[in-house]
Amino acid sequence: MISVRKLTKEFKIPVKPPGMKGAIRHLIRGEYKVKVAVESVDFSIEQGEAVAYIGPNGAGKSTTIKMLTGILKPTSGEILVNGIDPQRHRIQNAKNIGVVFGQRTQLWWDIPVEESFALLKNIYEVPDAVYNENLKLFNEIFGLSEFIGRSARKLSLGQRMRADLAAALLHNPSTVFLDEPTIGLDIGTKEAMRELIQRINREKGVTIILTSHDLKDVEDICRRIIVIDGGRIICDKEISQLTKEYAMDRGLQITLLDMQKELPARLLGQEGISYAAMEDAHTLEIHFKPEMYTAFEIVEEVNKYARIQDFRLREPSIERMIEKIYRSGEQSA
């Protein structure tokens, strides 16, 4: 169980004018610019939840994760991870958590993966039975045995991330933090990573906190979304709840035979049409309330003003929901 109260992180960025003179001035005056990366964030996560922590680049996701894992000291606010303050009791907290950062490996570069695992086994004091059982599971899903004898340096990115995730899970952590774990990976590795994360969440009740730009990760693994933007939380909801709310709007993509610049404005004026815009010269994107129109009625309506070549219904996807959350977040900010 994780609880976060009024969590804020400010970075002091040194203001160093260029040149020797600037460096000396900085040394004497110690001028800093303050960058607020995370601002008064609140949430709590129960054991066994799978939560997606998403937001645009620079939103403050990694900074939050680094505070939860004991790497960074909060400027203010309170964090408890399984009842432990991760900054003050770093070692105690580290025993219970697993961490994967997509861009960097957690393994030792120059020693065989197998030896890295053996080292981690001792560091985390993993009992033999647990260790062997876990290796068997990872092998089944990841095919580890193919490359376990090689050093991390000699692995492909896909193999390295498999090894990395396995290394983070060796000691049966109760909570796992995954910061962009699938970034840059091939489809096959992504699928395998999702499968393993899903399994430990569903079968072992491991808490998952995941950041990702690949919304397929979110769809497959998570049941709840927390959206952060500009350091502030702008949405925290169950995905099923979101789908209900946003599914009220249906979407149609209509390809027109002729250019129609003024068409969206004309359609938007009508009640029950929440969004209409030209995606490009010939493609109209339109969102409508299903209780007021059927898709065919919309097509007929558009057909009054323009000739239609093609159209298709757009599924209410997480991606579109998140676009809307960002948009409404910007409006309220």
Ligand X SMILES: Nc1ncnc2c1ncn2[C@@H]1O[C@H](COP(=O)(O)OP(=O)(O)O)[C@@H](O)[C@H]1O
Q: Residue numbers of the site for another protein (CB under 8 A)?
A: 11-12, 14, 62-63, 66, 69-73, 90-92, 94-95, 97, 99, 101, 104, 106, 108, 110-112, 115-116, 118-119, 122-124, 151
Dihedral sign, Cα of residue 195, residue 189, residue 68, residue 59: negative
Q: How far is the CB of 177 from ligand X (least distance, A)?
A: 12
Contact 170, 117 (CB under 8 A): yes
d(CA 9, CA 38): 5
Q: How far is the CB of 297 from another protein (least distance, A)?
A: 49
How many C-beta neighbours within 10 Å does residue 105 have? 19
Cβ closer to Mg ion: 62 or 93?
62
Place of tokens 């007929």: 300
Nearest to 38 by CA among 19, 20, 65: 65
* 91: partner contacted, choices Mg ion, ligand X, another protein, none (Cβ within 5-8 A by kind): another protein
Stretch 239-258 residues interacting with ligand X (CB under 6 A): none
Query: Of 56-64, 75-83, 150-158, 320-328, which segment contacts ligand X by CB under 6 A?
Result: 56-64
How many C-beta neighbours within 10 Å does residue 220 have? 16
Q: Would you give the binding string for Mg ion spanning residues 47-66, x where CB under 5 A is met?
A: --------------xx----
Q: Give the helix/strand (H/E) hosting 54.
A: strand 50-54
Cβ closer to ligand X: 213 or 223?
213
Q: Is 55 in the site for ligand X (CB under 6 A)?
A: yes
- Collapsing DSSP to helix, strand or coil, 25 comes out as helix
Q: Is 35 in the site for ligand X (CB under 6 A)?
A: yes
Binding site for Mg ion (CB under 5 A): 61-62
